[in-house]
Amino acid sequence: MATVRLDQKSRAMVRAVPDSYTEALAKYFGTGPTDITKAKAQHAAYVEALTNNGVEVTILPADHNHPDCIFVEDQAVVIDGHVLLPVPGHESRRGEQPPIAEFLSNSLKGHQVCSMASPAMMDGGDLLRLGDLFFVGRSTRTNDEGIAELKDLLDHLGHELRIVDIPSHTLHLTSFSSTPCDKIILAPEGYLSPQSFGQLPEGCEVLMMPEQEVYGCNTIGLPGKKVLIADGYPNVRATLEERGFETIVLDMSEIRAADGSLTCCSLFY
């Protein structure tokens, strides 16, 4: 997941699929979800996969007024117990945040919660964490003011932040990259190069995947060398399995239809 290290992935929050999900924003990977029953079944399988692999999952109720509400990753950033509530980059999604903020405040009592102020904006989906090194996507959802506020928090925590410019035909940094463990970044040819991430700490590497497997580059690594991956990306799967990961494959078709990926649907805290 985007902003917690592997050893911090014991609890996650998700949000149920609303009946309005067919109205979710879709511009990049998808043209919009069409099958609510299937979307709910895929989401339930996702929750089950997290639970079966040691994650304590809390499911917040759906918000039928916000079709994109399942994409909780965008709404809050949790880093080493600190919570940053960004101004989400798409106006229609800003009303999703209050129940998530309340949940995190109640669950992380005693931790510092700060809120970003407009004109800063950022989606949590633009953050990637590799150990204690952070990357942020400068995108249509995340602007320089938002990046500056994130940098303030990371400076305070002693973590480095690097900026990656997001190609205009993609949504978020995590739409096409992920860290299945604290030493590996998965990224697709044609979107990024290993140089996009700069010089990495010793022992870390960028694994480049074929361009047609861009969606498959979003994965969720879990403790015990397990990794959730989307169905249909054989090179991603083979590459991870060759490196000793146990892959857990999920059908994400109705999530992808709304430009959502594995990491978008949960918030580790």
Q: How far apart are CA 7 and CA 182, in angstroms?
A: 9
Query: Does residue number 33 form part of the binding site for ligand GLY (CB under 6 A)?
Result: no
Per DSSP, the three-state class of 127 is strand
> Which tokens sit at 72?
């909780």
Alpha helices, H only, 10-128: 36-52, 97-107
Provide the token pair at 254.
């109705």
- Cα(8)–Cα(268) distance, rounded to whole angstroms? 8
CB of 71 to ligand GLY, least distance (A): 5
Query: Looking at beta carbons only, is 31 or 112 nearer to ligand GLY?
Result: 31
Please choose, out of 9-17, 94-102, 153-161, 254-262, the segment that lies near ligand GLY by the rule CB under 6 A.
254-262
Instruction: Give the count of beta carbons closer than 10 Å to the beta carbon of residue 17.
Output: 25
Rounded to the nearest whole angstrom, what is the least distance from the CB of residue 121 to ligand GLY in the complex? Answer: 12
Which tokens go with 3? 């902003």
Instruction: Tell me the per-residue interface mask from 44 to 83 with ligand GLY, x by CB under 6 A, - otherwise.
Output: ------------------------x--x------------
| Structural contact between residues 19 and 64, judged by C-beta atoms closer than 8 angstroms | yes
Nearest approach in angstroms of CB 222 to ligand GLY is: 23
Of 27 and 156, CB closest to ligand GLY: 27
Query: Pairing state of beta strands 133-138 and 127-130?
Result: antiparallel
DSSP secondary structure letters along 239-266: HHHHTTPEEEEE--HHHHTTT--TGGG-
Which segment (11-19, 22-30, 35-43, 201-209) binds ligand GLY by CB under 6 A? 22-30
Strands 226-230 and 246-250: parallel
By CB under 6 A, tell whether 254 contacts ligand GLY: no
Of 142-150, 186-194, 242-250, 253-261: span binding ligand GLY (CB under 6 A): 253-261
Write the interaction track for ligand GLY spanning residues 86-125; mark x where CB under 6 A is met and - where it is not. Answer: ----x--x--------------------------------
Q: Give the total of residues touching ligand GLY (CB under 6 A).
A: 11
User: Measuring CA to CA, how many Å separate 46 from each of 57, 180, 228, 241, 255?
Assistant: 11, 16, 9, 20, 11
Q: How many CB atoms lie within 10 A of CB 27?
A: 13
Provide the mask over 206-245, with x wherever binding to ligand GLY is found by CB under 6 A and - wherever it is not.
Answer: ----------------------------------------
In the complex, the residues that contact ligand GLY under the rule CB under 6 A are: 24-26, 68, 71, 90, 93, 171, 258-260
